[in-house]
Amino acid sequence: MSPRGVIVLGSSPIGTAIGEGFAETGDVPYCIARDRPPPDVFAGWSEADCAQPDAARGAVREAVASLPSLDVLVLAAASMPVASAAETSDEQWDQAIRDSLTSAFNVVRECLPRLTQGGSIVAVGSTNSFLSAPGLAAYAAAKAGLDGLIRQVALDYGRLGIRANVVAPALVSNGESGPAAEGYPLGRVGHPRDVASAVVFLASASASFITGVTVPVDGGLSIASPAAYLSPRLRARFPRRRGGRLGEWEDRNEADEEASR
C-alpha cells in the first residue's frame, strides 16, 4: 500500500503526537501551523495563520505540492481563552472562533477538492462541546461549531467517498494526572498519544464505514455522573482489587464505614 499524504493543522503536543502516529504507520505527515513543530516529526511544514483565507490557501498548496497525494486532513488547531460569557472580551471571542473554527473551515474548504477518493477528515474537538466546564464560553462555542461543520461535511461529501469525524478529548496532559484523575473512570487524564491513536484509527480503512460522528476520547468522563465521585456513599460502591484480583468490597460493613467518612 502506498504511503498516504496527511496534512495536520496545528503543532501543539496533540498535533505533534498525531504526526508521529501517522509517520509510524508509514504515511507522510505535513504540518501547517503558526509555530514551528518539533524537528523530525513531519516531512515538511508551512507557517501560516489559517484564519486568513489567503494564508490557508497558500499553505495547503505548499503541502499538496510536497505530498504524494492528499488522503487525510487532521484539524488540531485551537486556543482556549478562559472567561465566563459576561467577562469574555471581543478579542477572546474572536481568538477562540478564529483558531478553532475559522481556520478549520478555511483549510477544509481548500482541501476538499484535493482529497482523494476514500479520503478522510478528522477534527480534534472537545468534550466541552457537549459537557460544560466553568469559564470556557468562547472555547465551547467554537468546538461545538466545529462539530457541526464536520457533520455537514460528512453528509455533503459522503457520496464522493470522503469521510469526516471528530474526536473529543477531555483533559490532556503530558505529565501526571494529579487530582483531576479522580473524576475519570479510568483513573487518569488523557495523553496526546491517546488522541493520536483515535485519529489514526478513524482515518484508517478499519473505520471505512464510520462517518459524521463525534467520538469521546475521555477516559469515560462523559459517561460518569458527578454524584458517583461527590457522594461518599456512591463512591463506596466502586469495585476494587483485593490481592491482585478484581472483586467487590469484602463486606458491607467496610463499605458502610467508607461511606460514612
Residue 37's identity, in one-letter code, is P
Asked if residue 253 has pLDDT above 50, the reply is no
Mean pLDDT of the chain: 92
- Where helices occur in the chain by DSSP H, the ranges are 13-24, 53-66, 90-97, 103-111, 137-157, 192-202, 227-230, 232-235, 252-259
Q: What digits encode the pLDDT tens for the residues 160-191? A: 999 999 999 999 998 777 888 888 999 999 99
Asked if residue 259 has pLDDT above 70, the reply is no
How many other C-beta atoms are found inside a 10 Å radius of the C-beta of residue 205? 8
- Mean pLDDT of the 143-152 span: 98
Active-site option among 143, 157, 184, 229: 143
Task: Describe the chain by its helix, strand, coil percentages, rounded to 5.
Answer: 45, 15, 40
**Which CATH architecture fits 5-223?**
3-Layer(aba) Sandwich (3.40)
53 in Cβ contact with 106 (< 8 Å): yes
30 is catalytic: no
- Mean pLDDT of the 102-121 span: 97
Active-site option among 139, 157, 184, 229: 139
Residue 112's identity, in one-letter code, is L
CATH 3.40.50.720 domain span(s) along the chain: 5-223
Pairing verdict, β 245-247 and 214-217: unpaired
229 is catalytic: no
- Mean pLDDT of the 92-103 span: 98
